[in-house]
Amino acid sequence: MENDDVVLLCDHEVFQGDKKNPALWALWFPLGILVAISRVFLLIIYTVLIQFCSVHTKKKTYRSLLRLLGIRITCNLDYDTVQKYTNGCIVAANHISVFDHFPALAMPLSTLMVHHVDSLAGKVMGFLLFKGSGSSYWEVNNLKQMMKQFRDWKKSPDGVALYVTPEATINNRRGLFRFRPDFVVRGRPVVPLAVSINLPFGLAPNPIDSSGVIKFLRLLSSPTIHFHLEYLDKLPAYVSESESGTAQHYADQIQQKIANNLAIPATQVTREDKHQYRAGRKK
């Protein structure tokens, strides 16, 4: 797949594939609005009440909350195995929706790297989820802040699994954007994580022309959301170009492992290519 094939990595319609059923979605939507309101209300009540509990209780109860919200998470490893396997590691995942933080926060030792959120709804939901899940985050607005966070973490890496999305943008599940090395060549082992999502009605998680708030609310009103997580073979920590190859080559290896698992291409199309393509569509 060539760089000019960015169009193939973007969803252009709200409904995709053989399962698309916009008529059924239209019938569901009035009830979906009530479902979305109920989910937000339940999350607010839960977040307030759970603050009196320990982190261990928050982590356990959060997973039950997701099931109650209709968000199902399956995984190729059990919880205790994930905890041992990812401890002190960078977990590098493909990025498929604005809801990817829901399953990541349910994982043991999870810490997320947060840059920015497109919508107010996303910011509010993110605040509630972090407060209620027992997980933490790094707020990183520039490279300098990111480097400082990594330096501090390397002094005491135990007890943290850092979840990152090196594509730095959302793909459409038919190919991966090229992984950026900045997130993964930080002297810590890397666990590639292949994430897939299943939505009803053939809904596309991330139509390119939808605003962040619309994408968020569409998923929030969906009757069910199913995430599946596949933890793949761990890569030893990046050391140097002479020992580990170039930083980009190292990142490409991680991307390829995930692409192989998902049976989709690992492309060299970048986040910048996508932004340029989207800007051209608006002219």
Q: Give pLDDT tens digits for 96-110.
A: 998 999 999 999 999
Q: Does residue 271 carry a pLDDT above 70? A: yes
Q: What is the mean pLDDT of residues 166-185?
A: 95
Q: What are phi and psi of 231, to 5 degrees?
A: -80, 125
pLDDT band (50, 70, 90) for residue 17: confident
Q: What span, in angstroms and rounded, lies between the C-alpha atoms of 201 and 253?
A: 34
pLDDT score for 1: 46
**Rounded alpha-carbon distances, angstroms, from residue 185 to 180, 182, 237, 267:** 10, 6, 7, 20
Q: What is the mean pLDDT of residues 169-186?
A: 95
pLDDT score for 69: 92
Q: What is the mean pLDDT of residues 198-214?
A: 91
Q: List the beta strands (DSSP E) in the chain.
A: 71-75, 90-93, 110-114, 136-139, 161-164, 190-198, 225-231
Q: With a threshold of 0.85, does the pTM exceed it?
A: yes
Across 55-59, 99-103, 195-199, the highest mean pLDDT is recorded for: 195-199
Residues 6+ apart with CB under 8 A from 122: 98, 212, 213, 216
88 by Cβ neighbours in 10 Å (0-12 / 13-18 / 19+) ranks as: middle
Question: What percent of the chain clears pLDDT 90, i.e. is strictly above it?
Answer: 71
Q: What is the CA radius of gyration of the chain?
A: 19
The mean of the pLDDT values for the chain is 91
2 by Cβ neighbours in 10 Å (0-12 / 13-18 / 19+) ranks as: exposed
Q: What span, in angstroms and rounded, lies between the C-alpha atoms of 8 and 31?
A: 33
pLDDT score for 142: 82
Q: Does residue 215 carry a pLDDT above 60? A: yes
Q: What span, in angstroms and rounded, lies between the C-alpha atoms of 258 and 68?
A: 29
Identify which of 129, 131, 145, 134 has the alpha carbon closest to the alpha carbon of residue 54. 134
227 bridge partner residues: 73, 197
Please check whether residue 56 is in contact with residue 134, taking contact to mean a CB–CB distance below 8 angstroms. Answer: yes
Coil, strand or helix at 266: strand
pLDDT score for 129: 86
